[in-house]
Amino acid sequence: MCDCGSGKPGAGPYATGRALVEFVLAAHGGEVAASPLPNGGLQTSCQGCGNSFVLRSFVQQCPACAGVHAVSPPRANDPEAIQFAGAGFTVQQ
């Protein structure tokens, strides 16, 4: 089992907002972020602009406004667990 903060309420994979996005981006050396979500992804609406899209990887930008959204592996089947990094957050390539 990894030491990714799983046992800390409100931290690691259970963080919210930008903290969750940053956690997933860094998880396992960055490998988790681009991994595909199970079952083809989660239908969601951008928490920045309201555009509807399918979150297909653990971290993804809204196709309309580039707002960054993420979900953690333990919650990958729950669209309510998708978090938004906030306006102006960008993913460093």
Per-residue pLDDT of the chain (93 residues; tens, 9 = 90+): 355 555 556 789 999 999 999 999 999 999 999 999 999 999 999 999 999 999 999 999 999 999 999 999 999 999 999 999 999 999 876
Within its chain, how far is the Cα of 34 from the centroid? 10
User: For residue 50, with 0-12 CB atoms within 10 Å meaning exposed, 13-18 middle and 19 or more buried, which class applies?
Assistant: exposed
Residues 6 or more apart in contact with residue 1 via CB below 8 angstroms: none
Distance CA(17)–CA(7), nearest Å, equals 18
What is the DSSP track for 12-26?
GGG--HHHHHHHHHH
Token readout for 22 is 């940053």
